[in-house]
Amino acid sequence: MKRLSDVRFIFPWTWTVDNFLKGSFGGHLVSQALMAASSTVKPEMIVHSLHCYFLKLGKANEAMEYHVSYKKDGKTLCHRIVTAVQDGKSVSFFQISFHNEAGEWPSVMSYQPPMPLVPHHSQLRTLEENVLKKAIFFNNEVIYNCLAKEIPFQLKLIDGKVAMWIKVMGNIGSIQNIHRCALGFASDIRSLECVISDSSETKYDLQTSLEHSIWFHKNSTVDDWILYCLELSTMANGRALIHGLFWSEDGHLLATVTQQALFRGKL
């Protein structure tokens, strides 16, 4: 990331899946917007929520600018509006909120649902190992090969579910906002697969994300294994609502994701 001014940032490229995605990968835009917004707040301010609207397709492998607008700077909460711009046009729009969590009293109430029962990551091969051994069934060989070889994550898929263990490659330090940026990237992996797997007989001419939201609940360590489970909540009028949960290995709910996507089938 290069800082152009106090409120303008530029990234030299955005990631895509060649021969599968027509534009930039949404998770990469999310992580870049989070990085830009995080650069405008005090170190004690930790991102706790993000809401994104995808306005148009971004051009992959080309530079993307992010323009940050200050909306509130309080002692415990602050808010930013971020617009992703390419070729002078808005590509996506983000509302991002930060919280000084250290300044809060420990909550007297705490609740989370139970962690799903799934195979432990130590019992599973990485996606790259499965690709090399041809040990999994490829619904789309292009995207699985790309996921296995090109993104900076290790993935271990869980049979029979749209779920996976995920871990960033290497060590990304201890800054919590950096870990949440990485979680933002990961939040878009396999999300549309929920719809395809639940309606396998339908062929879609168009699949595109409309909105994406993340609520961060607890500190994440993305260079350790994290479980990500997704499910289709509802589909109506061509729009699918997808729900996802990130879990730490020891059972803490780290983040909640919702995504709305547009699907148009062949007549």
Q: What is the pLDDT along the chain (267 residues), one digit of tens a residue?
A: 999 999 999 999 887 765 456 788 899 999 999 999 999 999 999 999 999 999 998 988 889 999 999 999 999 999 999 999 999 999 999 999 999 988 777 666 788 999 999 999 999 988 777 666 554 544 555 555 555 556 778 889 898 888 999 999 888 999 999 999 999 999 998 888 877 765 555 555 567 889 999 999 999 999 999 999 999 999 888 899 999 999 999 999 999 999 999 887 654
Quote the pLDDT of residue 150. 64
**Residue partners of 132: CB distance under 8 A and separation at least 6:** none
| Separation of alpha carbons 14 and 79, rounded Å | 25
Is 110 within the bounds of a domain?
Answer: no
Mark which of 71, 101, 131 sits at the end of a domain.
101
Quote the pLDDT of residue 267. 40
> Are both 243 and 125 inside the same structural domain?
yes
> Are both 174 and 212 inside the same structural domain?
yes
Contact status, residue 123 vs residue 158, Cβ threshold 8 Å: no
> Are both 160 and 261 inside the same structural domain?
yes
Contact status, residue 179 vs residue 170, Cβ threshold 8 Å: no
Task: Dig out the tokens for 220 from the structure.
Answer: 């994440």
> Are both 148 and 264 inside the same structural domain?
yes
Task: Dig out the tokens for 46 from the structure.
Answer: 């930790």
Is 107 within the bounds of a domain?
Answer: no
> Are both 237 and 129 inside the same structural domain?
yes
Range of the domain at 137: 120-267
- Helix axis angle for 26-38 and 176-186, nearest 10°, is 160
Mark which of 42, 74, 101 sits at the end of a domain.
101
Quote the pLDDT of residue 137. 47
Judging by beta carbons within 10 Å of its beta carbon (0-12, 13-18, 19+), is residue 89 exposed, middle or buried?
exposed
Quote the pLDDT of residue 132. 60
Is 154 within the bounds of a domain?
Answer: yes
In order of 78, 176, 191, the CA distances from 44 in angstroms are 11, 10, 31
Query: Looking at this protein, which amino acid is placed at residue 171?
Result: N
> Are both 234 and 148 inside the same structural domain?
yes
* Rg of the Cα atoms in the chain: 18
Q: How far apart are the first and last CA of the chain?
A: 44
| Separation of alpha carbons 214 and 176, rounded Å | 15
DSSP conformation class of 123: G
Q: How many domains does the chain have?
A: 2
Three-state secondary structure string covering 63-116 = CEEEEEEEEEECCCEEEEEEEEEECCEEEEEEEEEEECHHHCCCCCCCCCCCCC
> Are both 220 and 266 inside the same structural domain?
yes
Which domain CATH number covers 243?
3.10.129.10
> Are both 91 and 223 inside the same structural domain?
no
Is 134 within the bounds of a domain?
Answer: yes
Q: Is the pTM of this model over 0.75?
A: yes
